[in-house]
Amino acid sequence: MPTISIDTFFACSLMVLLMISAMAGASKLLYPHINNTVDMNIAERYASVSKYLLLNDGTPSNWGQNCQGVPETIGLAKAGSDNPYTLDIDKVSRLNNENLYAVSYAQIFTALEMPDVSFRIEIEPVFEVALNLTEAFEGANKTSYEFEILTEKQGFPVQAELKFYVIAENYLETSHACVSNGRTYMNVTISNDVNGPALLVVFARSVSNAEIVSFSAYPFAHNSPEPKPKGTFLRLSPLNYTLNASLIYPGINLSDVYALSFNYSSTLTQTANSSQSATYNIPHFLDPSPTLIVVTGRNSTSFFTEWTAYPQIPLQTGANFASSTALSNVFAYTYLVTINSALYKCTVWLGGPRQ
């Protein structure tokens, strides 16, 4: 065989090998980029969907206030608001499953009109308030309780002004505001003539910005057995500045009902009642703060307190993505939103099948 034929055969074989390896290499190299482009497109689409949820008011625009109405298209924005990411207090409250008039996940899913998109919405204060009962000192006439109050954002201390209320049977105590650097101790003294269980409500307002407010409530025994869990006696549903208190079982008598915010407090007047529920008007406080509503009453044997916030937060509604990230594209978007002049953190999770 001549030398030229061997060289040509060798060169042709090399070219064929080269072409095959080039095709294999190109597909291996470009696959992540092509896949990434698809992911980026999905991420951008989901980002637009999350903004749509928070910037549009839905149809009808007042679907939150109409307790029987179901939205045709979903949107949480306050109708007619000039500021972006300002949410409607009633639309937010209707996302909470504790509310009697809550819209179900299926109803929101239908109203979103995107059959390939699952979602989850979480709204909570910008920072957390944690309350711990550290000690109790029982005297002849009074009992003192020492509480540890932590104001933190993901473990980092937050400097905040604190205001607390103590509620028991026919008893409301209000404190003056005090400043905490993230951890402080506070004493609550209650007369032994007062019947419990008692409820400690703490509002914390950031020192740097008055619109950033958080809260927490802590029930504790005082002249009483240990308090029952929240929701044992009543289902509280604030909507359209009206509180509906539904009795979980008959034989419950309601007494004082309070609306509390950082700067204001008020005793609510009953506007209607039946054997199964009672309604109260909630005042419009000119305060960049959530309103905490505390209902007191008695069942056949003992005193109780039930409470909820208006807007009804913290809330988590929608699909649970915890175990489905392997087979689906899940993206989370966090926004700062305003509800009744106070700032909250809203996280929108969106997911769909991996493409």
Decide whether 11 or 248 has the Cβ nearer to another protein. Answer: 11
Nearer to another protein, 276 or 334 (CB): 334
Specify whether the CB–CB gap between 188 and 200 falls below 8 A. Answer: yes
| Closer by beta carbon to another protein, 159 or else 355 | 159
How many Cα atoms are found within 13 Å in the side-chain-facing hemisphere of 23?
5
- Pick from 92, 102, 123, 158: which binds another protein (CB under 8 A)? 158
Binding another protein (rule: CB under 8 A), the pick from 7, 113, 135, 138 is: 7
Residue 126 binds another protein, judged by CB under 8 A: yes
Alpha-carbon gap, residue 168 to 228, rounded angstroms: 14
- Per-residue mark of binding to another protein, 128-157 (x: CB under 8 A): -------------------------xx-x-
CA angle 151, 152, 158 (to 5 degrees): 75
**Minimum separation from the CB atom of position 342 to another protein (A):** 10
Strand pairing of 171-174 and 183-191? unpaired
The answer to whether 37 contacts another protein (rule: CB under 8 A) is yes
DSSP string, 145-198: EEEEEEEEETTEE--EEEEEEEEETTEEEEPPPEEESSEEEEEEEEETTS-S-E
Residue (32 or 231) nearer to another protein, CB: 32
Please tell me the distance from the alpha carbon of residue 147 to that of residue 200, in angstroms, as a whole number: 10
> Under the criterion CB under 8 A, does residue 30 sit at the interface with another protein?
yes
By CB under 8 A, the residues from 190 to 229 that bind another protein are 206-212
CA distance 48 to 42: 10
- Where do contacts with another protein occur on this chain (CB under 8 A)? 2-8, 10-12, 14-15, 18, 22, 25-26, 29-30, 33, 36-37, 40, 43-44, 47, 83-85, 126-127, 153-154, 156, 158-159, 206-212, 288, 334-336, 338, 341, 343
